[in-house]
Amino acid sequence: RKEVEQDPGPFNVPEGATVAFNCTYSNSASQSFFWYRQDCRKEPKLLMSVYSSGNEDGRFTAQLNRASQYISLLIRDSKLSDSATYLCVVNSGGYQKVTFGTGTKLQVIP
C-alpha cells in the first residue's frame, strides 16, 4: 500500500458545483497534514493545513479523520480558477518524512 493515496481524477465539475477529494495515508503515526495546489506547469503551493478539528478557508474546508486515516478537501461554489491538481501531503515525523500524494486533477468547466 502506498504511504499516501489519492484518486488521480480528473474530476470534471461545472462552475458553482461542490466537489470533494479524499486522501488516505498508511502511517498511523503521521503528525501533520496539508493540501497543496499545483497549476499546470507550475510549482506546488500550500493551499491549507489540515487540523484535527477541521478548518475552513473561504470556500475550502479541510478535514482529518485519524480513525480511518484519511483527509479530505471540500471546495464549494467551484470557480474556473480552481482548476488545478491538488496534492495531499503527510508528515510522518521530521522533514525527511514528508510524503506527497500523486495529486487529484480538478477541471471546472463553464
Partner 1 sequence: DVKVTQSSRYLVKRTGEKVFLECVQDMDHENMFWYRQDPGLGLRLIYFSYDVKMKEKGDIPEGYSVSREKKERFSLILESASTNQTSMYLCASSLTTQGTVSDTQYFGPGTRLTVL
Task: For the CB of residue 85, give the shortest distance to partner 1 in the complex, in Å.
Answer: 10
CB of 99 to partner 1, least distance (A): 8
In whole angstroms, the minimum distance from the beta carbon of 1 to partner 1 comes to 15
Tell me how many helices (H) and strands (E) the chain has. Answer: 0, 11
Give the shortest CB-15-to-partner 1 separation in angstroms.
Answer: 27
CB closer to partner 1, 21 vs 78: 21
Site residues for partner 1 per CB under 8 A: 8, 32, 34, 42-46, 49, 87, 89, 91, 94-96, 98, 100-103
CA 25/CA 83 separation, integer angstroms: 24
Q: Which is nearer to partner 1, 44 or 54 (CB)?
A: 44
Q: For residues 67 and 95, which CB has a smaller minimum distance to partner 1 in the complex?
A: 95
